[in-house]
Structure 1
Amino acid sequence: MMLRALSADWLKIRGKGLWFLVFLGPLGIVAMQGLNFGLRFDYLTKEYSDDLWGGLLDNIANYVPVALYLGGTLLCSMIANVEHQTSAWKQLLALPVSRTAVFMAKLLLCLLLVAVSCLLLSAGSVILGLILGFKMDLIPWGDILRIGFMSYLATLPVLILQLWLSLSFRNQTLPVSIGLTLSMGSLFATFLTEFMPLTWPYLAWNAPNPIWFSGAGLLLGMLLIVPSAVHFARKDVA
C-alpha cells in the first residue's frame, strides 16, 4: 500500500517546484564556494596546500547543515501543501490505503528528495574541485560521499519533525518558522552542547567520531516515526 501511495505522491509533485528546490540547495553551496575560491584562489590554495580537496570540502561542509534544515523544511511544507491547498485530505484518506501508509509514503518521498540533493552536492563538489584544477587522482571519494550523507543522517529527526508538523497544520507558518529558526541556529552549532540534535549535522563532519552523530540522528529519527505516524493516523484532517 505504501508503494501505491508513494507512486501517487510522486506524480503529484510534478510542476510543484520541488525539483527546483532539490537542485537549488547543492548548486547554491557549490556556486558560493566556487566564488569564494575564485576570488581568493592564491590565498586558499596556499592555506590548504597540504590537502586541497580537504580544504574545499571543509568550506563546503560549513553550509551543509543550514541547507539541509532549510531545504528539508521547505520540501516538507511543499509536499504537505499539495493536499492542504486542494483540500484533498478527505478524498485521499477515503481511499483503501491506511493512514500510516499515506504518512510513510510522504516521509519516504521527502527523504528521497533530500537524498538526491545530497548526491548532487557530492557530484558538484567533485566538478568544482576539477574546475579549480585539483588533481583527479587525489579525489577523496569517501569524504565526497560523507559530506552530504553523514550530515543527512544526522538531520533525520528534524526532517521527520518538520513533515509531522507540516502535515498536521494547514497553515504552514508554524512549521516553516520552526524550520527557519533551526536552520539559523545551526550556524552557531560550535557554541552548543553536542547533546543537542541541532548540532549533529555539523558534528557529523567535524567531530573526531562523526559516525556517532550520524548514528544518533538515524536512531532518534526512527524513534520519532512511531509517534508521528500514530498521531497522523488518529488526527482528524480537514
Structure 2
Amino acid sequence: MLRVLTTDLMKIRRKLIWFLVFLGPFGVIALQAANFGIRYDYLTNLYADNLWEGLIHDVQSLAIPTLLLGLSIITSMLANIEHQTNAWKQLLALPITKRSVFISKLALAVFLLFLSSSLLGIGTILLGLALKFGTDIPFLYLLKMMYYPYLAVFPFIAFQIWIAISLKNQAIPLTVGIISTVLSMNSTQLNDWLPWKWPSLQNGWGDPIYSVIAGLLLGLVIFMMGLLDFVRKDVK
C-alpha cells in the first residue's frame, strides 16, 4: 500500500495538482483581503463583538464551494494520469492489488485536500494579523472552520474518485462536481438529510458535529461501494 501511494506521489510531482492545492486557499484569502480592504469600516463595525469570528465566518462562506470544486478537479486529475496514457491495464498487471490502487488514489486526494484546508487556516491567521485584529485568535473555532467542512465532504471525495476512475471521459465527473458546487451554494434551502448541505455545517440540531458525522458515515459507505465496483470490473 505504501509503495503504491509513493508511486502516485511521484506521478504528480510536476503536475498542476500542486498548484491547485495552493491556489484554492490563496484565492479565498485574497478575495477576503480585498473584501475587508474595500469595506473595512463596515465589516469591522458589523463584527465588532468578535472580529476574528467574523473573519473566519466570511472565509468559510467562500471556502466551501472552493473545496467542492477543487476536490472535483483534483480527483479527476489523479485518475486522468492513467486515462491519458491508457496505463490502467499496465498498472493493474503489476504485482499489486486493485484494492491498493483504488485506496491509494483516494488517500492521495484526501491528503491533498487536508493540506489545502490547513493552508486556508494559516492564511486566515495571517490575514487577521495583517488586518490588526489582535492575537486573541479563537483557535477552536478556526480549527472547526478548517476541518469540519473538509470532513463533511468525504462522500463527495469518495464518489468523485470513483466515477473519475471508472469513466475515461472526465467531462462527466467534472460536470457532476460543478453541479454539486452549485447545490452547496444554495444549501440553506435544502433538507438536512441531503449531503450538499452538510459542508455548510447547518442543521436542525444546531450542532455542526452532526453534519460531520453524517459526512464521514456516508463517505465510508460510498468508499466501500466504489472499492467493490473497482475490484470487480475490468478497467480499460
When residues 101 and 117 of structure 1 are mapped into structure 2, their CA distance, relative to the original with a 3 A threshold, is: same
2-structure distance, mates of 1:214, 1:192: 17
When residues 36 and 207 of structure 1 are mapped into structure 2, their CA distance, relative to the original with a 3 A threshold, is: farther
1-structure distance, mates of 2:7, 2:116: 21
When residues 74 and 207 of structure 1 are mapped into structure 2, their CA distance, relative to the original with a 3 A threshold, is: farther
TM-score (ref. length: structure 2): 0.97
When residues 159 and 38 of structure 1 are mapped into structure 2, their CA distance, relative to the original with a 3 A threshold, is: same
TM-score (ref. length: structure 1): 0.97
Which residue of structure 2 lines up, in the alignment, with residue 104 of structure 1?
103
- Which amino acid is 1:167 matched to? I
1:214 is aligned to 2:212: yes
When residues 206 and 51 of structure 1 are mapped into structure 2, their CA distance, relative to the original with a 3 A threshold, is: farther
Supply the RMSD in Å over aligned alpha carbons.
1.3
Which residue of structure 2 lines up, in the alignment, with residue 21 of structure 1?
20
1-structure distance, mates of 2:80, 2:222: 22
2-structure distance, mates of 1:92, 1:206: 46
Which residue of structure 1 lines up, in the alignment, with residue 112 of structure 2?
113
Q: How far did residue 206 of structure 1 move?
A: 10
Q: Which residues of 2 match residues 35-50 of structure 1 at below 5 A?
A: 35-50=34-49
Q: How far did residue 208 of structure 1 move?
A: 2.2
Q: C-alpha deviations, 1:92-142, integer Å up to 9, x for none?
A: 000111000100001000000000000000000000000000111x10111
Q: How far did residue 68 of structure 1 move?
A: 1.2
Task: Among all aligned residue pairs of Structure 1 and Structure 2, give the percentage whose two residues are the same amino acid.
Answer: 44
Q: C-alpha deviations, 1:201-222, integer Å up to 9, x for none?
A: 0026997200110111011111
Q: How far did residue 64 of structure 1 move?
A: 1.9
Q: Do the aligned partners of 1:204 and 1:214 also contact (CA within 8 Å) in 2?
A: no
Which residue of structure 2 lines up, in the alignment, with residue 62 of structure 1?
61
Q: Do the aligned partners of 1:150 and 1:204 also contact (CA within 8 Å) in 2?
A: no
Q: Which residues of 2 match residues 134-213 of structure 1 at below 5 A?
A: 134-136=133-135, 138-203=136-201, 208-213=206-211
Q: Do the aligned partners of 2:162 and 2:226 also contact (CA within 8 Å) in 1?
A: yes
2-structure distance, mates of 1:207, 1:56: 24
Which residue of structure 1 lines up, in the alignment, with residue 73 of structure 2?
74
When residues 206 and 69 of structure 1 are mapped into structure 2, their CA distance, relative to the original with a 3 A threshold, is: farther
4+ residue runs over 4 A deviation: 204-207
Q: Do the aligned partners of 2:155 and 2:218 also contact (CA within 8 Å) in 1?
A: yes
Q: Do the aligned partners of 2:5 and 2:104 also contact (CA within 8 Å) in 1?
A: yes
Stretches of structure 1 that go unaligned for 5 or more consecutive residues are: none
Q: Do the aligned partners of 1:154 and 1:204 also contact (CA within 8 Å) in 2?
A: no
- Which amino acid is 1:190 matched to? T
Q: How many residues are treated as equivalent by the alignment?
A: 236
